[in-house]
Amino acid sequence: MIDKRTPMRHKKRLSVHFGIDEANRVAFTEDISMTGMFIKSLNVCPPNTRIKIEFSPDDANRVVLEARVMWAKKVPQNLFHLVKKSGMGVRILRFHAGEEFYRRFCDDMGALR
């Protein structure tokens, strides 16, 4: 299957908090890009849901953003670690904090390739 996404995705595991009204669920990213990310989680939101995502890639910087769930794949808990893409792909809509840091962070990861 051909990857139709133009921005390069970078494999990166970050701890994130996400949720619909408040970011109260914990999960991990599997990959990130300038325009979106894949969140590996048992607790997925339906496609087209707007969610809030918060994370701190380091101790000094915090990123808070709003995203739209583009697709979601929910699997039973006992199969979670066996299924490659169990979670949801999200597209970033807007940043509330940390946009400049996030963009620099993605650029730096691309330079490491």
pLDDT in tens, 84-113: 678 999 999 999 999 999 999 988 877 555
pTM of the model: 0.85
The number of domains in the chain is 1
Question: 1 lies in a domain?
Answer: no
pLDDT in tens, 3-23: 554 567 888 899 999 999 999
Count of beta carbons in the 10 Å neighbourhood of residue 103: 12
Structure-model confidence comparison of residues 94 and 58, the more confident one: 94
| CATH code, domain with 19 | 2.40.10.220
The pLDDT value recorded for residue 57 is: 84
The whole domain housing 47 covers: 10-111
Q: What is the Cα Rg of the chain in Å? A: 14
Residue 82 has pLDDT above 70, yes or no: no
Residue 73 has pLDDT above 80, yes or no: yes
Question: 3 lies in a domain?
Answer: no
Structure-model confidence comparison of residues 48 and 75, the more confident one: 48
- Which two three-digit tokens encode residue 28? 């991990």
Residue 61 has pLDDT above 80, yes or no: yes
Burial of 41-62, coded b for 16+ CB within 10 Å and e otherwise, reads beebbeeeeebbbbbbbeeeee
pLDDT in tens, 27-44: 999 999 999 999 999 889
